[in-house]
Structure 1
Amino acid sequence: MSDELFHFIGGKPVFGTSGRFHELPGIRVPLAGKREVDYAVEVAVAAQDEWAQWQPDRRLRGLMDFLERVSDELDGCPVMVPVWNAAPAVACGNSFVLKPSERDPSIALRLATTFLDAGLPPGVFNVVHGDREAIDALIAHPRVDAIGFVGPSAVAESVQATALAYGKTAQCFHGTRSHLVPLPEPDSDQVVGALVGAGTGPASEAQMATSLVAQFAGRAPDPVVERLAAVYRPDFRRSAGSR
């Protein structure tokens, strides 16, 4: 018998009503339909009215408490990815609806309760499980102003194109290509050491590994690129861009 997960909306568990589920070992993940997404957005909009009126320093105290709790209790990309979207949005007085991957849903619920424990008002951070139907409902909702996505390239391109068609701000990351740009006149040895470590260190988190170093004409000195080429040969490859 599988346990059934729930959405987390307005500071409390909300069981799915669509009748659709994604099956994981021992867990049934509810897949939200448009009605459930609409409800989550309505709750988030109502919560944002209060949250936006908090003074920035008061919001910051709550977020710092949240980050301390996260660093003590949670770890890994399932935490990092939603937080890098949610934290700046919430810090600026917005509310947030997270649609996590249906393949890794549980950590999102931990994040939601951690936000509550840190003192944020219920409804500022909500979780709605789902598949493409939930994504499309979020993009199309008139009260959702911005969309963030991290995932496969084909899906990211589709999400961004659809969001732009609706006039939404969209930030879509894909392809696991982390970029580094050396500052002008750096210490070449120090920079090369940092780049090599960033490219090879996160062995268990491939999307965190730095695979691209961008060099801008007249800004980043050639010695950095030449030293990198010496370290990485024969695998080092150069490509020319338009800027």
Structure 2
Amino acid sequence: MQACANWIDGGPQPSRADQWLDVTNPATGAVIARVPLSTAEEVEQAVQSAERAFADWGCWPPVERARVMFRFQQVLRDHFDELARLIVEDNGKTLAEAKGSVQRGIEVVEFAAGIPSLGMGDVLKDIAPGVDCEMIRQPLGVVAGFTPFNFPVMVPLWMIPIALACGNTFVLKPSERAPLAGLRIAELFAECGAPPGTWNVLHGTARVAEQLMADPRIQAVSVVGSSPIA
């Protein structure tokens, strides 16, 4: 049985939590993994890792970040069937529906690869006598996202590729009910050349989400879910 590790600083970090939850296959009721309720110290480690990575990743030229996104979409395609099977086991979708959700997620990664043009600023000359106007797009820093059990690959891929392509770093808290697929896509992203800590994963319940939202270093939060879980 798999014990889900957190993903911090570019690699798995087994949790020191004293509370764990069972992850069950909805089709069979069998326990397929155990997921930790991450400690406050582990949340702090993930945020620190993302901060360190931002000092590097946030300075990369957009074209270099786009190359990472191109590699990521190819890695996702190479592992397409594996991810679909994980969704079936983790969430209970039919295989056809699982494949559809993986494909929708990959399409967002492809969109994010267009960041050199999507993220362009603008200059307006002479909007008034002696006045020019310049718009510059800059990354925010460390951001976080909380995703639901029913789309464990598609929803993270709605959020994370765009945030990363814009130069931010990310802390993901997937649903504790379906954590396997979200963890796997973070592992695959680590193969694509971004600095360690660019994408971190923390397991847990609403307490982890609340600690992240209360942290002043978290510059933005994206949530798909309900108030009781986030």
- TM-score where L is the length of structure 1: 0.60
Give the secondary-structure state (helix, strand or coil) at the position aligned to 2:12: strand
In 2, Cα distance between the equivalents of 1:18 and 1:140? 21
The question of whether the paired residues in 1 share the 8 Å contact of 2:53 and 2:196 is answered with yes
Q: Report 1 or 2 for greater relative contact order, CA contacts < 8 Å, sequence distance ≥ 6.
A: 2
Which position in structure 2 is the counterpart of 1:13?
Answer: 12
Instruction: Note closer, same or farther for the CA distance 1:19–1:70 as it changes in structure 2 (3 Å cut).
Output: same
Residue in 2 aligned with 1:55? 61
* 1:92 equivalenced with 2:91 (yes/no): no
Corresponding residue for residue 42 of structure 1: 48
Identity of aligned residues (%): 38
TM-score, normalised to structure 2's length?
0.64
Q: Give the RMSD, CA atoms, in angstroms.
A: 1.5
What are the equivalent positions in structure 2 for 1:160-179 lying under 5 Å apart? Answer: none
- Cα pair 1:38 1:141 within 8 Å, conserved: no
Q: Which moved more, 1:106-115 or 1:55-64?
A: 106-115
Q: Which has the larger radius of gyration?
A: 1
In the aligned structure 2, how far is the partner of 1:68 from the partner of 1:112?
14
Asked if the contact 1:44–1:97 (Cα under 8 Å) also holds between the matched residues in 2, the reply is yes
Distance 2:20 2:156 in 1: 22
Q: In the alignment, residue 51 of structure 2 is paired with which amino acid?
A: V
Q: Matched residue pairs, number?
A: 155
How far is 1:71 from its partner? Answer: 3.2
The verdict on how the C-alpha distance between 1:124 and 1:27 changes in structure 2, with shifts beyond 3 A counting, is same
Q: What SS does structure 2 have at the residue aligned with 1:19? A: coil
Q: Quote the residue 2:206 is aligned against.
A: 132
Q: C-alpha displacement at 1:72, in angstroms? A: 3.6
Report the alpha carbon displacement of residue 50 of structure 1 after superposing the two structures with TM. Answer: 0.5
Alignment of 1:109-124 (within 5 A): 109-124=183-198
Q: Which residue of 1 aligns with 2:177?
A: 103
Change in CA separation of 1:67 and 1:155 when aligned onto 2, cut-off 3 Å: farther
Q: Does 1:79 align with 2:141?
A: no
CA distance, structure 2, for counterparts of residue 35 and residue 133 of structure 1:
13
Shift of 1:3: 3.1
- Describe the SS at the equivalent of 1:133: helix
Gaps of 5+ in 2: 24-30, 81-98, 102-150
CA offsets 1:117-160 (integer angstroms, 9 cap, x no match): 111111000110010110101101111011111123x448xx5x
Cα distance between partner residues in 1 of 2:205 and 2:39: 9
In the other structure, the counterpart of 1:143 is 217
CA shift, 1:33, in A, is 2.4
Cα distance between partner residues in 1 of 2:73 and 2:209: 27
CA distance in 2, matches of 1:44, 1:61: 20
Aligned to 1:195: none
- Kindly indicate whether the alpha-carbon contact (under 8 Å) linking 1:6 and 1:14 is maintained by their aligned counterparts in 2: yes
Mapped partners of 2:225, 2:73: distance in 1: 24
C-alpha displacement at 1:100, in angstroms? 0.2
Cα distance in 1 between the residues matched to 2:200 and 2:164: 12
Please tell me whether the aligned partners of residues 62 and 119 of structure 1 are also in contact (alpha carbons under 8 angstroms): yes
Unaligned runs of 5+ in 1: 160-243
**How far has the Cα of 1:35 moved from its partner?**
1.5
